[in-house]
């Protein structure tokens, strides 16, 4: 299992993989409109539907409610594309550790957060790279 999938699974604990035929048409239509040409692997978590896919060589995921409204999407990014404040935080709080993965999270309202996986934890930052919270991986 690659790190992107592992990270996504840990964020959406308890989700269940299932056949795309079980995804409501409104959700599939919204996905197709937002991500034309992408093919998704679907799962369900607490009433929401998550699509994992690649688009323009980017590994991504998107979460939709049952009506087809997108709640958020995540895109794997390079560590060097993180806001510069994240490096200072990592250097201070995770000395000698390496960031395993970085993602840009865009919420439905346009809010952007960044998530890194490091030392078995997921660490969330705001759009400026300021620490928000830490969760166990």
Does the domain formed by 78-137 have CATH 1.10.3720.10?
no
Second-level CATH architecture of 1-72: Roll (3.10)
The 10s digit of each residue's pLDDT in 67-113 is 999 999 999 999 999 999 999 999 999 999 999 999 999 999 999 99
Q: Is the pLDDT of residue 2 over 80?
A: no
48-61 core/surface letters (b: 16 or more CB in 10 A; e: else): bbbbbbebeeebbb
Residue 110 is predicted with a pLDDT of: 97
CA angle 52, 54, 57 (to 5 degrees): 155
The 10s digit of each residue's pLDDT in 11-34 is 444 555 677 888 999 999 999 999
Please report, for the chain, the start and end positions of each structural domain, with discontinuous segments joined by +: 1-72, 78-137
């Amino acid at each position: 299992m690659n790190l992107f999938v592992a990270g996504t699974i840990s964020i959406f604990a308890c989700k269940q993989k299932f056949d795309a035929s079980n995804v409501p048409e409104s959700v599939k239509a919204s996905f197709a409109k937002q991500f034309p040409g992408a093919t998704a692997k679907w799962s369900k978590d607490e009433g929401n539907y998550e699509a994992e896919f690649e688009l323009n060589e980017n590994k991504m995921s998107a979460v939709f409610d049952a009506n087809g409204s997108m709640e958020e999407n995540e895109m794997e990014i390079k560590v060097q594309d993180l806001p510069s404040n994240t490096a200072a935080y990592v250097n201070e709080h995770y000395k000698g550790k390496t960031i395993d993965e970085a993602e840009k999270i865009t919420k439905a309202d346009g809010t952007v957060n960044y998530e890194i996986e490091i030392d078995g934890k997921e660490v969330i930052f705001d759009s400026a790279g300021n620490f928000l919270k830490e969760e166990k991986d």
